Amino acid sequence: MSDHKHIIRLQAAMGEYDWGRQGSSSLAARLGPNAVGPTFRVDEGKCYGEMCVGTHHNGPLTAHLFDSPSRSLLDLISTDTKAYLGEKLSDTPSSTTRIPYCIRILSIRKMAPLQAHPDLKGLAGQLRQSAPDSFIDASFHKPQIAIALGEPLCITRAQYKGEGRATVGHAEVDDPDTAFMGFVGFRPLEEIKAFLEKIPELVAAIDEPALVIKFTQSPSNELLKQVYAKLLNRGAEAREEVAAVVKKLQERMMQNGAYVLGSRESEFLFRLFMKVNAQYPGDVGVLATTFFMNFAKLRKGEALYIGADEVYAYMEGDIIECKAISEPENVASATTEDSPPPLTTQVRSSISLLTFTSRPTSHWALPAQRYSQGRQHRSVKYGPPSEDYVVVGTFLSTLKAKEEVLEPILTPTIGIVIRGKVRVSASSKKRGECLDLDEGSVIFVPPGNEIRVEVLEGKGQEGAGELWWAQWSA
């Protein structure tokens, strides 16, 4: 490493999407000036959905060097893959010059369209053949981690309203400490069965009574797949009819009360239904999410792990997401408020190739663990099962915990400063470099470097400094 830098500042990409938070209410946008560069200016009339760092060969996932914006990180790595990726990545049979994951800060104001990820080998390859424009990389599957970063939604909503930027959807479904909401995976089969038995509008939307009866008599994952596919296809082929069914259910609940849903959670389901329908009026996704999928709420620092072949949709909040490298997905489609995209487009195109399982929400919870490479014990990690990448959060304070040292690992590290001003040093074999970094700064640290972090200026009463890292096989 003597001929290479020990720490490299990166230029991230900013994405503007209809589902993103508006103006400076977006965490991604607030990080923008130091992440994207001094030319970035927050436009309070635009919606900023993501800040992204990666080395994909195509589109906005490609990071560049902050001090040389015309040069991509991918290009730099290709000059010496062993130095920048380490032997573990560069010597594998499927080695490339890319970092095998991307990291994103997502700021979500309203629900983004549903997504589903193919598995590693069989389905990813089939998707590559069946929909090459949407699924480019058959060699990688796309499981991911999503960690809640922001303040409770009740606080951020109050700020939005004071600034004239209210969230979309009238009914609130979160708790006082909820920082993120979304849908993930399918509900337990018995719950779906109960909805199909008690909500005639749901059966009408599917429009195949024999299939519904078959499912309710003997629920199974295979029959669930058939029922769900039929519902989504009806939403595309008979949009007006499905919209009329959604409207009828809404009117019946408003007239007779939420109890018509026949569930212990009827009042909550009613509010959830109303919130999604306010964002995507009459869309089949209102039914496909509310009555078929688990609703997840995260407090700050809580996380979800969404494996390959799982269905999910982010609804509201700020998160840091890390996933195996992949092509940008339909979730990036930008539209106007007057014409939102169908919630289910991407999932409908791939549902016949995917296998779904039915589990409770707790199945997707990913607890934080002690990060053994953090010498001062100021860091925690989120490591998904059976995956090689981890996300690490480092939390410092000017009052009581000013420093952390991350021991060297054999693969590269990408870091993002979320709060405060910090000094980051990277060193190997008595050589090293140091950078003072403000909020939003993004760095790349090659393998074999010890990383030392010191908070210089903290935020809030605790003088907080906060950084997040993505690593491979930490």
Q: Which of 382, 422, 391 is nearest to 404 (CA)?
A: 422
Q: Using CA atoms, how far apart are residues 61 and 98, in angstroms rounded to an integer? A: 11
* Token representation of residue 470: 């993505």
Tell me how far apart the alpha carbons of residues 164 and 166 are, in angstroms, rounded to a whole number: 6
Annotated binding-site positions: 115, 117
Closest CA to 136 of 128, 148, 126, 144: 128
Q: How many whole angstroms separate alpha carbon 449 and alpha carbon 426?
A: 6
CA angle centred on 217, ends 216 and 223, rounded to 5°: 60
Task: Enumerate the known binding-site residues for Zn(2+).
Answer: 115, 117
Structure tokens at 284: 């089949």
Of 391, 243, 298, the residue nearest 108 (C-alpha): 298
Give the pairing of strands 421-428 and 431-437. Answer: antiparallel
Tokens 């951020």 sit on residue = 156
The angle formed by the CA atoms of residues 285, 16 and 441, to the nearest 5 degrees, is 125
Our CA dihedral for 199, 202, 207, 208, rounded to 10 degrees, sits at -70
